[in-house]
Every structure is written in C-alpha cells, then in structure tokens.
C-alpha cells in the first residue's frame, strides 16, 4: 500500500516539475516587461538633457513683463498648480519690510534658470544674492601669511528676486509654449509694452479709464500715472492736519484738471472747462486698496481684478503704441524714457 502511494507521489512530482519551470519563465518575462515599461515611462516623463539645454537657452536673458509683485530678499515666490505664494497679508508684510523687486507691468529680465528634481528656479534682475566682485576676492600677503581683505557686511545693490515653478513629481518634458503657459500667472510673454502688460492686471472699469486717459476717484498713484502721465505741476499743501498733493494737468486756454491725492489715493477730481464750467467729483468710483488685496490673493492671473498699490513707477507711460494706447512703444529700449504724446507733458 505504501509503495503505491509513493509511486503516485513521484508521478505527481514529475508532472508538476515542468509546470514550475514554465511558471518561473512566465514570471521572468512579466518582470522584464514591467521593468521595460517603467523605464520607457520614466524616460518619457523625465526632462532630457537636450530639453534642459533648450529651456535654459530660450528663456535666459529674455525680457518679459511682470504680472505680479516680486518681493526683494531671500524669500521669493512659489508657483504650483497656477497658485502663487506668498500672497495676501503675508506678501504685503514682506513688501513693507524689504520692498518690491518688480510690480505688475514692470519689465524684468530672466537672468538665471536652474532645473532641479521637482521644480525650476527662475531668477529675475540678477536674483536675490549679489555675485562676488573681483575686489571681494583680494588678499594681502605678508610676513604673517595671506589674509583676505575685510568684506563689507552690506549685501550690495540687490534688485532681483525669483520664482520657483513646482511640479507634482519630477520635472517632465516641456515645450516652450507649455512652459510659458505654466509661468503665465507671474510673467507676460506676449505684451509689447509695460502698459499693455499692466492693464491686463486691472478690472475692466480701471482698464477702460486708463485707455481713455480718465481719472477715477479711488485710483492709486500708479493707476493715475498710467492714465494721465506725469503732471505739468504739483502743489503740496496741508488742510486740517491732512497733507495732500494736487496734480495739475493742462493749461489755459485748454481744460485744466486738478487731481488731489491723500497718501496714495485719488480723493478729488476737479475739471475747469474752457467755457467756465466746473466739474467736481469726490465720490469713490474704484477701490484701489481692495483691488490690490485681490491682486495679492489671485496673484495677477489674467482676467482677475488685480492692481498694484504702491509708489508711482519711475518710467513715464505717456508715449503711445501704434494702437493708440499709452505706453512704451514696441521694440523700444525700456531703459530709455518714452517720447510723450501730445497733451501728456511730463514735469
């Protein structure tokens, strides 16, 4: 009886042995296919060396226009899934402490690009860290050996900032248009002038007023300069312990417009017509502070109610583009002052 059972067991083992070999072979083939598929998928997702070189070469040194405010200092912006941080009160605090490297509509230069595992680092206007100068590397050699010269504790004239574009995992293959689309919340690659870039960041009511060169009560200085340019004259006075400025546009025998600012806000607009008619507006028509808060929350995404709230820009946006809108003409050097149009005479 036992001999019969032993024979039966050996017979089953002989039948099972080829099955184990076939199963092992199938497992090896499946594992190899899975590894090959994973490798192919990985190579398709990861940024190739050629793509890295192309991105750095295409974007470095390019002049674009800012769509949001870049803070000065070692803490820049982070962009992920179309959302920019910091924003809101946190960004306002940073701007109050260190100032702004760029505001919406300002031309900026992408001076450095670093591609890391999960994000791409873009520096503008030289970045937040000043490169060492030749005199920072000087040393003195004497009887006691070589010692470096004392270095200044001042960080130097740093005017740059940065933005980090983050991905869900590794940086994957990207074309130029795809990367520009991802960067659209912070950079405008299509605008031909500072004004064209700026008006895309303000509500339609403010945008139309700027295009028509009209002043609205509640505008800030920057909106005013974009709408009317720099005034012919300025008067600063104190009225009931409140200091205000009157910006005067035009001269007789033409219409004369008096725009009163308290701090950074237009509070009164008075127009003296040639025929003697006097028009005064004091009711707030727009709220630049609220627009600014929304801009800091939405971070200048095209089509949102956004507007910077800060000091007037150094440039004069009086010059006209071919479409009749004031601003730096296309193909002009942003560093040169534009030629003012008629009726818009800088001081």
> In 10 A of CB 73, how many CB atoms?
17
Hey, what's the torsion of the CAs at 284, 206, 104, 259, to 10 degrees? -50
Q: Is the pLDDT of residue 14 over 80?
A: no
Residues 289-307 have a mean pLDDT of 58
Helix axes 204-211, 221-228, angle to 10 degrees: 40
Distance, in Å, from the CA atom of 133 to the CA atom of 114, rounded to the nearest integer, reads 22
Tokens describing residue 66:
């800012």
Tokens describing residue 268:
């009164």
Residues 81-91 have a mean pLDDT of 90
Element (DSSP H or E) covering residue 176: helix 176-182
pLDDT at site 87: 87
Kindly report whether the global pTM for this prediction surpasses the value 0.75. no
Distance, in Å, from the CA atom of 77 to the CA atom of 83, rounded to the nearest integer, reads 10
* Cis amide bond preceding 18, omega within 30: no
> In 10 A of CB 262, how many CB atoms?
13
Higher-scoring residue by pLDDT: 51, 38: 51
Percentage above 90 pLDDT, the chain? 33
Q: What is the DSSP letter of 120?
A: E
Mean pLDDT (the chain, rounded): 75
Tokens describing residue 242:
């409140």
Where residue 52 falls among pLDDT bands split at 50, 70, 90? Answer: confident
Q: Is the pLDDT of residue 134 over 80?
A: no
Is 195 strand, coil or helix?
helix
Distance, in Å, from the CA atom of 118 to the CA atom of 98, rounded to the nearest integer, reads 28
Hey, what's the torsion of the CAs at 248, 324, 180, 316, to 10 degrees? -30
Residues 185-199 have a mean pLDDT of 86
- Provide CB contacts within 8 A for 164, sequence distance 6+: 76, 77, 78, 79, 119, 120, 121, 122
- Cα R_g (the chain), whole angstroms: 32
> In 10 A of CB 152, how many CB atoms?
9
pLDDT at site 65: 92
Is 114 strand, coil or helix?
strand
Q: Domain ranges for the chain, please list them.
A: 49-190, 193-347
DSSP 238-276: EETTEEEEEEEE--TTS-EEEEEEETTEEEEEEEE-TTS
pLDDT digits (tens, 9 = 90+) for 305-347: 433 333 334 444 444 333 333 443 333 333 333 333 333 444 3
Residues 72-90 have a mean pLDDT of 90
Distance, in Å, from the CA atom of 128 to the CA atom of 265, rounded to the nearest integer, reads 31
Higher-scoring residue by pLDDT: 159, 297: 159
């Amino acid at each position: 009886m036992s001999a019969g059972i032993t024979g039966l067991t050996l017979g089953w083992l002989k039948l099972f042995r080829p099955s184990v070999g076939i199963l092992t072979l199938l497992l090896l083939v499946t594992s190899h296919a899975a590894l090959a598929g994973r490798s192919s998928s990985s190579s398709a997702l990861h940024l190739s060396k050629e793509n890295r070189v192309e991105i750095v070469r295409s974007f470095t040194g390019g002049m674009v226009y800012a769509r949001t405010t870049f803070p000065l200092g070692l803490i820049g912006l982070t962009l992920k899934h179309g959302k920019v941080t910091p924003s809101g009160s946190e960004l306002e605090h940073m701007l109050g402490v260190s100032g702004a490297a760029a505001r919406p509509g300002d031309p900026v230069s992408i001076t450095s690009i670093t591609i890391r595992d999960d994000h791409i680092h873009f520096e503008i206007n030289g970045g937040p860290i000043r490169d060492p100068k030749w005199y920072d590397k000087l040393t003195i050699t004497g009887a006691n050996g070589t010692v470096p010269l004392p270095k200044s504790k001042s960080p130097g004239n740093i005017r740059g900032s940065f933005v980090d574009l983050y991905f869900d995992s590794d940086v994957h293959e990207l074309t130029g248009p795809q990367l520009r689309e991802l960067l659209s919340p912070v950079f405008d690659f299509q605008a031909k002038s500072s004004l064209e870039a700026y008006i895309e960041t303000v509500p339609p009511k403010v945008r139309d007023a700027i295009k028509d060169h009209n002043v609205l009560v509640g505008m800030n200085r920057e909106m005013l300069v974009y709408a009317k340019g720099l005034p012919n004259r300025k008067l600063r006075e104190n009225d009931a312990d409140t200091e205000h400025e009157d910006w005067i546009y035009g001269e007789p025998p033409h219409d004369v417009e008096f725009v009163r600012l308290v701090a950074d806000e237009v509070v009164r607009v008075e127009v003296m017509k040639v025929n003697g008619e006097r028009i005064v507006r004091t009711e707030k028509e727009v709220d630049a502070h609220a627009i600014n808060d929304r801009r800091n929350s939405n971070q200048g995404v095209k089509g949102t109610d956004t507007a910077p709230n800060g000091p007037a820009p150094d440039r004069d946006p009086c010059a006209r583009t071919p479409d009749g809108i004031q601003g730096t003409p296309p193909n002009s050097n942003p560093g040169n002052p534009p030629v003012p149009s008629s009726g818009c005479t800088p001081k």
